[in-house]
Amino acid sequence: MRVFAIADLHLSFTAPKPMTVFGPNWAGHPGAIFEQWREVVGQGDVVLLPGDLSWAMRLPEALEDLSHVAALPGTKVLLRGNHDYWWPAIGKLRAALPAGMLAVQNDALRIGDLIVSGTRGWVTPGPDSFTDEDRRIYERELERLRLSLEAARRLGAGTPGARHILMLHYPPTGPQFAPTGFTDLIARYRPERVVYGHLHGVSVSRSLQHWGDIPTDLVAADGLGFRPKFILDV
């Protein structure tokens, strides 16, 4: 079983929202993602989708977008991003998702030897503006990450044969790559790999690529040329 990842699909089939305002490379981006997905992903593979999946505001419209993803090969694991306003309570979402789609929210799941944990994350303290509201959300997301990593540990993360990947939507640190509460938890629980999205117009070579000896992968769709990135083989 191979594991791939791609974030920030930004789909909008029910209420089209052209992404070319973010650059000409976004022209026809859903088609580019779907075509390359079919080229690299097999039916027995897993694709991690760490956030910003649909521009929809309500679940029924988001499900229309997600149906196009559900029709692609592989098992899909979803995480909420900052633009996924349609995302309801996790129980309601899991009951509504198409077959072959799973969701992680402050918890973890296991597919064979693969364990996936995750939470959305948030902006981190640094030299830029960091408001009291940012602090509140940041501390809440730290607790949600801790809960998710504990859930992964209960599922066997860290035991022989288990492969643990942490999904975040936001990067775990700021542009200066200074330590944060997120990186402290990554260092404590030691997932095998971290994948994150959110950053657009940032080259992969200039993004955070590891924390200590733990690889971290920016998998925002435009940074990948809209091609799901191979992460590891389980």
Displacement of CA 191 from its chain's centroid (Å): 15
Q: What is the mean pLDDT of residues 83-110?
A: 97
Which residue stretches of the chain are H helix?
A: 29-40, 59-70, 90-96, 132-154, 181-189
Secondary structure class of 135 (helix, strand, coil): helix
In whole angstroms, how far apart are CA 27 and each of 86, 148, 229? 24, 36, 20
Calculate the dihedral angle through the C-alpha atoms of 183, 189, 190, 193, rounding to the nearest 10 degrees.
-70
The pLDDT assigned to 108 comes to: 98
CA quadruple 6, 193, 234, 101: dihedral positive or negative?
Answer: negative
What is this structure's pTM? Answer: 0.95
Say if residue 129's pLDDT is above 90: no
Measured between alpha carbons, how far is 56 from 88 in angstroms, rounded to an integer? Answer: 12
What share of the chain in percent tops pLDDT 70? 97
Average pLDDT, integer, range 210-219: 95
Q: pLDDT band at 31, cuts 50/70/90?
A: confident
Half-sphere exposure of 80 (CA within 13 A, CB side): 22
Residue range 115-132: mean pLDDT, rounded: 91
Q: Which residue has the higher pLDDT, 189 or 16?
A: 189
Local confidence band at 220 (pLDDT 50, 70, 90 cut-offs): very high
Q: Which residues are CB-contacts of 96 (< 8 A; sequence separation ≥ 6)?
A: 59, 63, 88
Backbone dihedral angles phi then psi of residue 187, each to the nearest 5 degrees:
-65, -35
What pLDDT, on the 0 to 100 scale, is given for residue 205?
Answer: 67
